[in-house]
Amino acid sequence: MAEGLRERKKRETRQRISDVATGLFLAHGFDKVTVADVARAADVSVNTVFNYFGTKEELFMDRRAEAEDVPSRVVRERGPGESVVAAFRREFLAAIEAQDWRYGLNEGADEFERVVAGSPSLTARMREMEEQRRERLARTLAEETDAEPEDLRPRLVAAQILEATGLLARQAVRLRMAGESWGRIAPWLREQAQAAFDLLEKGIGDYGAGSP
């Protein structure tokens, strides 16, 4: 269905408010910027801001809903006969090439992280979002595999996959923050990602056993 004029204007207004807010947060820090500051800079009323965003944190995390659904979408859209681990390997390697924001690999992810780290409320919201991602992925895995309610495997798999991709992404951000260029980070990240997914795919039973 084609987007109507009213819907388009609402979408554009929401995006403009979000863009203005993000710019202010990056420039001054999340806790130092008020909703009134955002409204004034976006040339709208405070009530208008809250019509589009329920909380100040939502102004900064405006793509939270999409980010929370990414892991479940990877599972739902995997190819015929493709395992869950294989689907995430393919998706994450493609994300490195695209510097995908959904995995925190985009230009500016280091600035985003600095703002989050400087705000206790944003840090708490990020933890909450990660928990929601795990829960949603676990439910999707349970549905896709017809798991029984007492079967813990969907939760275990969800936790392992998201910890692996999260660790890889966080380390890439740390390297950016340390001044490394993406041209140096990307090859290292691809190598580490392949090793991580190899572990997930083959299991860790022999890890640390040493040579016979």
Q: What is the pLDDT of residue 85?
A: 94
156 and 89 both lie in a single domain:
yes
Domain total for the chain?
2
Domain that holds residue 14: 7-60
CATH code of the domain covering residue 84: 1.10.357
> In the predicted model, is pLDDT for residue 43 greater than 70?
yes
> Is pTM beyond 0.85 here?
yes
17 and 73 both lie in a single domain:
no
Helix (H) or strand (E) holding 25: helix 5-28
173 and 80 both lie in a single domain:
yes
212 is a domain residue: no
CB neighbour burial string for 165-195, b if at least 16 within 10 angstroms, e if fewer? beebbeebbebbeeeeeeeebeeebeeebee
Write the pLDDT tens digit of every residue in 11-21: 899 999 999 99
Place of tokens 């001044």: 179
110 and 148 both lie in a single domain:
yes
Judge whether 38 and 20 are in contact, CB under 8 Å: yes
DSSP 32: G
CATH code of the domain covering residue 43: 1.10.10.60
Distance from C-alpha of 123 to C-alpha of 1, rounded to nearest angstrom? 38
Write the pLDDT tens digit of every residue in 174-208: 999 999 999 999 999 999 999 999 999 998 777 55
Q: What is the pLDDT of residue 195?
A: 96
Nearest C-alpha neighbor of 77 from the set 62, 61, 88: 88
pLDDT bucket at 3, cuts 50 / 70 / 90 = low
47 and 88 both lie in a single domain:
no
